[in-house]
Amino acid sequence: MSEAEHDGFPSDWPVDRGVNGPSFPEVRDAKLQMLAHRVRERRTELGWSQAELGRRAELNRNVINTLERRTSFPRRENVVRIAKALGVAVPHLTNAFVHEDLQRAPASLSMTQACGQPNVVLLQIHRRVSPTTASKVIALLSEDSTEAA
């Protein structure tokens, strides 16, 4: 297990200061969108403003603002600070990211009725797709108002 995987970051998360996220634009955008969504969602659950999260994470509010607006890919140490301030583990913010081992697995798709929830289905997707398709799927899932179980 690499150091990056050990601390909850996907293997392609940038380590160097000069790197601004994954180099493939669609992958970068999809990861940033999911990270921003999860940070905003947790911050809102806690009833915090961006300034309050920034204060608790010992970061400038602009770091939180640019993350949530998806205009800046945060550095690892900032994600660690944000996760700690939000009271979640780093993988909670990053676990939607595709890991190399999952990319090599066979494709599978399944959809089953959620128990006791007639208007909810459980969707599992394990398939290689283009970054453009993945971005579209993530965007659709981010817009869905159904609470994840």
Rounded to an integer, the average pLDDT of 109-119 is 72
Backbone angles phi, psi at 79, to 5 degrees: -65, -40
Tens of pLDDT along 14-69?
Answer: 554 444 555 556 666 777 888 898 999 999 999 999 999 999 999 999 999 999 99
95 versus 98: the higher-pLDDT residue is: 95
What the block records as the tokens of 88 is 């979640």
Question: In the prediction, which pLDDT does 17 show?
Answer: 47
pLDDT of residue 27: 66
Q: What is the pLDDT of residue 25?
A: 66
Cα–Cα distance measured from residue 121 to residue 99, given in angstroms and rounded to the nearest whole number: 25
107 pLDDT tier (thresholds 50, 70, 90): low
Q: What is the pLDDT of residue 92?
A: 82
Nearest Cα to Cα of residue 50 among 67, 34, 64: 64
Q: With bands split at pLDDT 50, 70 and 90, how would you rate the model's confidence at 84?
A: very high
The CATH classification number of 3-94 equals 1.10.260.40
The model's pTM? 0.58
Establish how many alpha carbons lie within 13 A of residue 118's alpha carbon, considering only the half-sphere containing its beta carbon: 0
**For the chain, domain boundaries:** 3-94, 102-143
Q: How many CB atoms lie within 10 A of CB 131?
A: 17
Burial code of 98-116, b = ≥16 C-beta within 10 A, e = fewer? beeeeeeeeeeeeeeeeee
- Look up tokens 């599978």; give the residue: 108
62: left (phi over 0), alpha (psi -120 to 50) or beta: alpha
Supply the pLDDT for residue 106. 57
- Separation CA 27–CA 128 (nearest Å): 13
Residue 133 main-chain phi, psi, to 5 deg: -65, -45
What does the pLDDT read at residue 71? 87
Distance CA 134, CA 140 (A): 10
Q: Which residues pair with 74 in a beta bridge?
A: none
Rounded to 5°, angle at Cα 10 from 7 and 13:
100
